[in-house]
Structure 1
Amino acid sequence: MNIAFYAPFKPLDHPDPSGDRTIGRELAAALTEKGLSLTVASRFRARWFSARPTLWLQGLPARREALETASRAGARAFLTYHAYYKSPDIIGPYVARELGIPYVIFQGVYSTKPRRCLKTRLGYELNRRSLLAAELVFSNRRLDVENLGRLLPREKIAYVRPGINPGAFAFDAAARRELRRAWDVGTRPVIVTAAMFRNDVKTESLVYLFTRLGELARSGLDFFLVVAGDGEMRERLVGLAGRELPGRHRFLGRVPREGLGAVLSAGDLFAFPGIRESLGMVYLEAQAAGLPVVALADGGVPEVVQAGHTGLLTPPGDDAAYARAVAALVVNRERRVAMGEAARAYVRECHDSSRNYGTVAGALLRLAGEG
């Protein structure tokens, strides 16, 4: 069965890596694995549609082109990935209505705050209309499920746990030996972190981490930090690491997702605070490789890390607690290993994308009369 697919925030082949892109790709792969064919109906980017009048003019021809594409492909349903006020779906409801096929949203987000601001009011209204038009809205965050309940009846909302392909991040003993030799770390505990160096909460989290690790280093704790990532804030972050952790850190630059498993395998624990983190797919990737996590109990992090079992989560704002959590795993190898084994099992059992996103495939088939 063919599905018309659209990602208004950004296409899944966009060159900039992000958790949003990762989730979309995992979803698409799982649907394909279940036997569905996906046709990209449109590549129209609706980001900040409210504030960009040029997009209003481009939207009408984009809708017509999407209708033609979906019709030629014989699409039996329309699936939109990640719709919210910043990137509302102006295409899916129209195409689905014209073709008489079910319209479904994955990762639909609803908030009433944008309606109070002139800059975001249009995006709010368009997103609200698309959510109301959907026959089913999936969400991979419990907070979003709760917010959607303010607009939609419960039977139109479905929660699905975020997922990855655990095998893609399976522990690699050979890579561990090779990379640790290259890094010349010997038997020292290696802390791995990974993020894009964007001028937002990603950099804020890395600054927080480097500062806490600097405090631990000055207290005499022995460890080595490996940082995967790159971006506009690189110079600032490299300078901060040089001051806080002289001689005990290494920046790898941007690591392709297919190479991240090797880097994680060479580490002993994964630390990334995740300040106001929406979800954090990298936590699942780290746990799949057998690394315990140290993060803040903030945003969507508790939905992908089992506190006290697969990692240590500390209260936002409690700097000392975060530092203690990192130190606790650095000094206790036995605890690290036990948590890492639990983390691997947790991802396999609860966050396998093939199994979790298979429910989406089943719903699409059912709504199209094929299930």
Structure 2
Amino acid sequence: MARIAFYAPLKSPHHPVPSGEREIARNFMRVLEHDGHTPVLASELRTFEKRGDAVTQAALIDQAERACTGLVAQGQKDKWAAWVTYHNYYKAPDLLGPTVSKALGIPYVLVEATRASKRLGGPWDAFERKAEEAIDLADVVFHFTERDAEALRANLRDGQQLVALQPFLAMETLPAAAIGQAPLVLIAGMMRAGDKLASYAIAAEALTHMPDGPWRVEIAGDGPMREEVATLMAPFGERVQFLGQLDTAGMAAAYQRARVFLWPGVNEAFGMAYLEAQAHGVPVVAENRPGVNEVVAPDGLVPVGMPEALAASVLHVLNDPDCHDARAQAARDLIAESHLMPAARRRVWRILTPLLKDIP
């Protein structure tokens, strides 16, 4: 059976820092383990360049060009049948896959690739051009959200396939349903500057609209903005407990305790935690944002910029058992139907199998 080269330029599946990005890379490698086919991590070269530094980008491009010679030789030796790259975009373009797949004459597949033409001519010009070059050369592009698909669809070349792939968890079946008996709100997210801190700020504002009562909050996550998040949550005193960075088992235990999951979702592509919470039967409350609204059950979405509406939705789940039970079941039904490993495996291999039909 075929050996399939896999690459994640933003964050390797072996990266030491946990994140949704790493989780998806790991999950996709599991999807590629099918019917005797074997994924091979082709490279751990990280092309991530977050500052818009042209010198750094040029150096990474040069490093990648030199690495391609060895990768082509490795691919010839191991008889790679296809190259699959997860997450190609202007801050972390795939600088390897286009060259290696062309040299080997094998299919080139992208998962979650985005165009950002507004970056052309700016500090990420070189990297955006490389990201677009990779997209143009791909035989297949899988997209997780309709937001990503819009720009991709407008630039499809003849014969190129654009395929919707709903985000998925590394689960074959649903986990046990959460108990969620206490009025416990779970918040989970990396504590870093920018969008994550903005979501924490909105969540804190929502909590100010919660009346006195027995409700409590657990926060899972850590990062350089830990003190800033603690300051945001300080007004709520002992109601808030910081759990720190949790492993998979720790997060599963946190979901089991929770009655509701609150995360506004500022600029989330979609958010793996939303899928995890709903798989456990924990109703989600989030802002109605692009990407987020494609993975969260509709009853959990509230308008952007209305923290009082977030609080009201949280309270409804905490205080109304019928509401909680109905939303918990709807959440689990949503995940079971579209966001588990079997659904992803079927969709991916429906596309990959014809590409590999000539592989001995």
User: Does the TM-score normalized on the shorter chain lie above 0.5?
Assistant: yes
Give me the identity figure in percent.
31
Given candidates 228, 231, 242, the residue that maps to 1:239 is: 231
Report the AA paired with residue 278 of structure 1. A
Deviation at 1:168, TM superposition (A): 7.5
- In structure 2, the partner of 1:16 is 17
Verify: 1:334 aligned to 2:313, yes or no: no
Mean Cα deviation higher: 281-290 or 36-45: 36-45
> For the residues of structure 1 that align with 2:188 and 2:227, how far apart are their CA atoms?
16
Verify: 1:278 aligned to 2:278, yes or no: no
Report the AA paired with residue 345 of structure 1. D
- In structure 2, the partner of 1:103 is 108
- In structure 2, the partner of 1:358 is 346
Instruction: Write the deviation string for residues 332-369 of structure 1: whole angstroms up to 9, x where unpaired.
Output: 12211221112112101111123223322332221122
Report the AA paired with residue 333 of structure 1. P
Deviation at 1:34, TM superposition (A): 4.5
> For the residues of structure 2 that align with 1:297 and 1:68, how far apart are their CA atoms?
48
> For the residues of structure 1 that align with 2:133 and 2:53, how far apart are their CA atoms?
14
5+ residue gaps, structure 2 = none
> For the residues of structure 1 that align with 2:112 and 2:311, how far apart are their CA atoms?
34
**Does the CA-based 8 Å contact 2:172-2:340 persist in structure 1?**
no
Given candidates 56, 70, 73, the residue that maps to 2:78 is: 73
Change (3 A) 1:5 1:166: closer
- In structure 2, the partner of 1:136 is 140
SS at match of 1:193: strand
> For the residues of structure 2 that align with 1:114 and 1:240, how far apart are their CA atoms?
33
Deviation at 1:278, TM superposition (A): 1.2
SS at match of 2:25: helix
SS at match of 1:343: helix
Instruction: Write the deviation string for residues 74-131 of structure 1: whole angstroms up to 9, x where unpaired.
Output: 10111111111111112111111111111111111112111141x1111111111111
Deviation at 1:172, TM superposition (A): 6.2
SS at match of 1:326: helix
5+ residue gaps, structure 1 = 181-186
SS at match of 1:276: coil
Total equivalences in the alignment: 353
Change (3 A) 1:84 1:356: same
Change (3 A) 1:26 1:61: same
| TM-score normalised by structure 1 residue count | 0.90
**Does the CA-based 8 Å contact 2:82-2:101 persist in structure 1?**
yes
Deviation at 1:65, TM superposition (A): 2.2
Report the AA paired with residue 134 of structure 2. S
Deviation at 1:166, TM superposition (A): 4.1
Mean Cα deviation higher: 150-159 or 204-213: 150-159
Report the AA paired with residue 220 of structure 1. D
Instruction: Write the deviation string for residues 37-64 of structure 1: whole angstroms up to 9, x where unpaired.
Output: 0111111111128631332331222111
Verify: 1:93 aligned to 2:84, yes or no: no
- In structure 2, the partner of 1:184 is none
Report the AA paired with residue 300 of structure 1. G
| TM-score normalised by structure 2 residue count | 0.92
> For the residues of structure 1 that align with 2:285 and 2:62, how far apart are their CA atoms?
47
Verify: 1:223 aligned to 2:215, yes or no: yes
- In structure 2, the partner of 1:37 is 38
Report the AA paired with residue 186 of structure 2. V
**Does the CA-based 8 Å contact 1:164-1:353 persist in structure 2?**
yes
> For the residues of structure 2 that align with 1:321 and 1:153, how far apart are their CA atoms?
44
Task: Please report the RMSD computed on the Cα atoms of aligned residues, expressed in angstroms.
Answer: 2.0
Instruction: Write the deviation string for residues 117-167 of structure 1: whole angstroms up to 9, x where unpaired.
Output: 1x1111111111111111111111111111101211485211111111346
- In structure 1, the partner of 2:333 is 345
**Does the CA-based 8 Å contact 1:31-1:358 persist in structure 2?**
no
**Does the CA-based 8 Å contact 1:171-1:261 persist in structure 2?**
no
